[in-house]
Chain A
Amino acid sequence: MQNVFLIMVLLFLGSTFSINSMAQDTLKTMYLGEVLIQSDTISNNDYQLTIDQLMSQQADLNVVKRGGFAWEPIINGYTDGQITVSVDGMRVFYACTDKMDPATSYLEPINLSTFKIAKSSEAQRYGTSIGGTLQAEMKYPTLNKGTSAGIQSYYSSNTNGYDGNVFVEQSSEKFGFRYSGALRKHGIYTDGHGQEVEFTQFQKQNHTLTTVYKPNHQHELTGLFMFDEGKDIGYPALPMDVSSATAYMGNIGYKNHVSDRTFELLQAKVYFNSIEHIMDDTKRENVAMHMDMPGKSTTFGAWFQADRNTALHHQEIRVEGFSNLLFADMRMYSPIGGQDMYLMTWGDIHRYNASAFILDQWQLDPRLTWTNSLRMEYNSTNLTSDFARKQFETLNSYIDGAKSHLTGNFSSSFHYQLNDAWSSDFGVGFTHRAPTASEMYGYYLFNARDRFDYVGNPDIDTEKAFEFNFNIGYEKEGWKFVFNARKVFLDDYIVGVIQEDLDASTPGALGVKKYENVGKANTSHLSMLLGKEISNWLYYQINFRMDNGFIDALHSPPAYMSPLTIDQRVAFNIKKIQVGINYKYCDGMSTPADVLGEQKTSAYHLFDLNVDYGISLRKGILNLSAKAENIFDTYYIDPFAWNNIPNIGRNFKVGVGYSF
């Protein structure tokens, strides 16, 4: 969870050590990197985590839990169309109308080299976003490294679950490939009261192949193919589970590096990804009506980026285009043996997007850097199925063509390095974000949290945001301190509004909400990190964060505003044994967004303990690991968990890993 703070430290304090050097440095430094001030770099120790667990450990990231798997990422309370997810430079869009498969759910840590949360200018490089960008970069083989491989296997007591992963990497001077894969299978978990939480099981497999071909220092070709398949995934917060969620992703990239030309680095990539998501309610009892709800998302895209460095400037120009096609439908089987019912929830929603992004970092003087970025984006979104268009007639919406939105962002920030210890940033940003496919053309999408059916609004306008961000940091003599504040003013805020004249479609739904621009809203975000390297074997860190906000039209806070959360970590080495103790306090959701389905949750305390022991062998390292998560078997509900599903109780995890 300390990723963002490390980013701040690295970027704004101008730390002398880099992420990569940390990962490759001494055992102690690596230990700090892995356990305490986790960098964006995904370490070997992270491989056993699911991507959900990895995300939930990020300081600037929260997750929405609908079950034990496929948690939805939130950045400062912003989610879905308000944030961007970039996987190896690719835009990836989920295929489930109920957000049961965020793009991140198709990732595996063993495939990733970095996973970071970008905000402000950095975030706009990959897509227009108000909240920020999740940027996952795949791991490619390191050339001229010969052969390396690794395998890990972990057992979890609570779920009687297994997590395994393996990678093999082979490279020569010019060519390399890397295969990595993961296999996971977990049963239902038990909460802190010893009660089984039904429908929390999941299993998945992932296979990824990356290649690099670098004939000389100037040219580099890369390739990626990834297959990920989740099966038998339970969602206790929802009325349905998932029988399969399958993703195929691939890209071909090219880099051209010449030091002595205007744009010294040129990069380009073409990509595709296809996701198919099949919901399943056949294992649920007392289902009013069985339904088939498949969804599919297909994306093609390409981008080009040119980087230029001068004595005082770093500049980037990036252009990108993608096409995303979404389809989802529902077939409902009459419980009385009558006619099957059918509708399209996403009726071939086709979005074309073209964008341009420019960034300039200007070293005004040795202590002051001014960064400006501009992103312009054109979105053309169409509901192309005649059937789906006819459906919208029932909402008095007559769709005869694509809707266009011109969106983008302008960000400007100053970085001031007061001295070798203190630094500060101040920035502003203005963003227009395009409505999502569901916000435009979703058709009776049931939201199990507020129990309303949601319908899209083809005429909806863009959502605007104006933000201030400020941080100040200190790092010297083992002390680390970062204070971060962010204020966002929104206009034409997009949220579902109850439609009294519309009848709900889903049995048990309370009514229908239609996405509308409701005017002004605002959010505030504070976080603070304090860390001290007490000795060369002992480190302590504490982290506070909380969010707040208000939607004027609803007289309600927005959803997913983080209550006060305090994380404390102590890590120490005893010879080759690395020990970490984590303590988390969450104040609970005391002011939930009732109108959006949030519920109050209680405060809780969590304690985790992990012990790692590395044994150097003649070739490679054997690592033994043991963890006790939620040591005191606390019964707790995550503030962002849907429908108050309790979290997992005490879990013992043991594992062994070997790599060379």
Chain B
Amino acid sequence: MKNFSILLYTLLVSAVLFSCDNNDSTSTIPEEELYTIAKITNDNGVELQMKSTAEMLYEGVNNVQFDIENGSLSDGGVWKIMPVMQMMMNGETAHQHSTPLRGFDVGMSNTTTGKGQILFVMPSSEMGEWTMHVSYYVNDEMEAMWVLPIDVNAVEFLTPAANYKTVIMAPIPDSDDRLILGYNFLSGTPDIGNNDYEILAFRRTPAMMSHGRTSNEHMFETYTAYNDLTFEVTPWMPSMGHSSSNNEDPLASKEGVYTGLVNFSMKGDWQLQLNVKDGEQQLIEEDGLSFYLEF
């Protein structure tokens, strides 16, 4: 049974192509206090802790890392990280899906995964729970594995609206794929004045149900960094009906990462209205889905 699990998760993790893209460096997490979100000890007595720059995990982009706190692992291995949402229906597992992530390379060692970002596309709820599946491989052999139950909190707004989003999922015309967007403020939280921020863009391809696989075979969707997008971002206060000045639209800075500058001229409720194109193809219009935040 243990061998089967190792095989299964090896396949699952491999299906998430970007899961540990070593070519994708990141320096997006500020040097600040990390909060322990979850911890678990495996059968070999090695404790893994999931840490975040925020006190809790939220729907949207989370800056996290995984550290070994007790026990030890061999040198020279690689980490595999897989978030899994177990969707429930009538008390039974309906299906599973994952969520995009990036990073987990800089500073990676046998004691830490290094810093990375997980874009949770939905919060935990009665309908489904998140677990983090983390494994450590040495010479393609799994040395350790942990499954951490985690709680991903919904971001609630005082004035919710259908187009106010923390995570944007938009269909890509002429395909079954979807565009997944999340935002991250490099200082950690939005504030008055200049805010450097990044938009993480992924292309979600549905799980393949053909190519010789049977329909009941577990298979996860894939997320790939979405490059070559152009963004026009307008910060907008819906309560006040005005924008702010001297903003810089996000430009591609890394694989699937677009970095820009947004100015918040006052505290309150802010939309980041998006105009997103892939070449000439309009993916999101300004009066459509938008990021929304209150601070």
Could you list which residues of chain A lie within 8 angstroms of chain B, going by C-beta atoms? 289, 330, 332, 334-343, 387, 389-396, 444, 499, 501-505, 507, 512
With known contacts A336-B159, A390-B192, A341–B237 Cβ distance under 8 A: yes
Query: Does B24 lie at the interface of the complex (its beta carbon under 8 Å from any beta carbon of A)?
Result: no
Contact in complex: B265, A342 (CB < 8 Å) = no
Which residues of A sit under 8 angstroms from B93, Cβ to Cβ? none
Contact in complex: A503, B243 (CB < 8 Å) = yes
Contact in complex: B159, A395 (CB < 8 Å) = no
Query: Does B7 lie at the interface of the complex (its beta carbon under 8 Å from any beta carbon of A)?
Result: no
With known contacts A332-B240, A390-B192, A502–B245 Cβ distance under 8 A: yes
Contact in complex: B242, A504 (CB < 8 Å) = yes
- A205-B289 Cα distance, complex, nearest whole Å: 55
Q: How far is the CB of A234 from chain B (nearest CB, A)?
A: 25
Determine, out of B48-56, B211-219, B266-274, the stretch whose residues face the partner at the interface. B266-274
Which residues of A sit under 8 angstroms from B285, Cβ to Cβ? none
Contact in complex: B242, A505 (CB < 8 Å) = yes
Which residues of A sit under 8 angstroms from B245, Cβ to Cβ? 394-395, 499, 501-503, 512
Question: Which of A389, A390, A502 has most chain B Cβ within 10 Å?
Answer: A390
User: Could you show 17 A-B contacts with beta carbons less than 8 Å apart?
Assistant: A332-B268, A338-B239, A338-B294, A341-B268, A342-B267, A343-B265, A390-B191, A391-B192, A391-B265, A393-B263, A394-B194, A394-B245, A395-B245, A502-B245, A503-B245, A505-B265, A507-B241
Which residues of B sit under 8 angstroms from A396, Cβ to Cβ? 246
- A395-B193 Cα distance, complex, nearest whole Å: 9
Contact in complex: B266, A340 (CB < 8 Å) = no
Query: Does B158 lie at the interface of the complex (its beta carbon under 8 Å from any beta carbon of A)?
Result: yes
- A335-B263 Cα distance, complex, nearest whole Å: 23
Closest 4 CB pairs of A and B: A390-B193, A341-B268, A393-B193, A394-B263
Partner of B269, one of A338, A504, A512: A338
Which residues of A sit under 8 angstroms from B157, Cβ to Cβ? 338
- A393-B261 Cα distance, complex, nearest whole Å: 11
Q: How far is the CB of B60 from chain A (nearest CB, A)?
A: 18
Measured as residues with beta carbon below 8 angstroms from the partner, the interface class of chain B is: 20 to 34
Query: Does B202 lie at the interface of the complex (its beta carbon under 8 Å from any beta carbon of A)?
Result: no
Q: How far is the CB of A313 from chain B (nearest CB, A)?
A: 56
Q: How far is the CB of A622 from chain B (nearest CB, A)?
A: 59
Query: Does B136 lie at the interface of the complex (its beta carbon under 8 Å from any beta carbon of A)?
Result: no
Q: How far is the CB of B281 from chain A (nearest CB, A)?
A: 29
Contact in complex: B191, A341 (CB < 8 Å) = no
- A512-B191 Cα distance, complex, nearest whole Å: 22
With known contacts A289-B239, A396-B246, A334–B159 Cβ distance under 8 A: yes
- A499-B245 Cα distance, complex, nearest whole Å: 10
Contact in complex: A334, B239 (CB < 8 Å) = yes
Query: Does B220 lie at the interface of the complex (its beta carbon under 8 Å from any beta carbon of A)?
Result: no
Q: How far is the CB of A152 from chain B (nearest CB, A)?
A: 48
Contact in complex: A387, B192 (CB < 8 Å) = yes
Interface residues in B225-254 by Cβ distance below 8 A to A read 237-246
Partner of B264, one of A334, A394, A504: A394
- A387-B295 Cα distance, complex, nearest whole Å: 14
Partner of B244, one of A330, A341, A394: A394
Which residues of B sit under 8 angstroms from A395, Cβ to Cβ? 245-246
- A395-B244 Cα distance, complex, nearest whole Å: 9
Q: How far is the CB of B288 from chain A (nearest CB, A)?
A: 20
- A512-B243 Cα distance, complex, nearest whole Å: 12
Partner of A503, one of B191, B192, B194, B242: B242
Contact in complex: A339, B192 (CB < 8 Å) = no
Contact in complex: B268, A507 (CB < 8 Å) = no
Residue of B nearest to A503 (CB): B243
- A339-B157 Cα distance, complex, nearest whole Å: 8
Which residues of B sit under 8 angstroms from A501, Cβ to Cβ? 245-246
Q: How far is the CB of A8 from chain B (nearest CB, A)?
A: 50
Residue of B nearest to A512 (CB): B245
Which residues of A sit under 8 angstroms from B268, Cβ to Cβ? 332, 334, 338-342
Q: How far is the CB of A475 from chain B (nearest CB, A)?
A: 59
Partner of B267, one of A341, A389, A504: A341
Partner of B266, one of A343, A389, A393, A499: A343
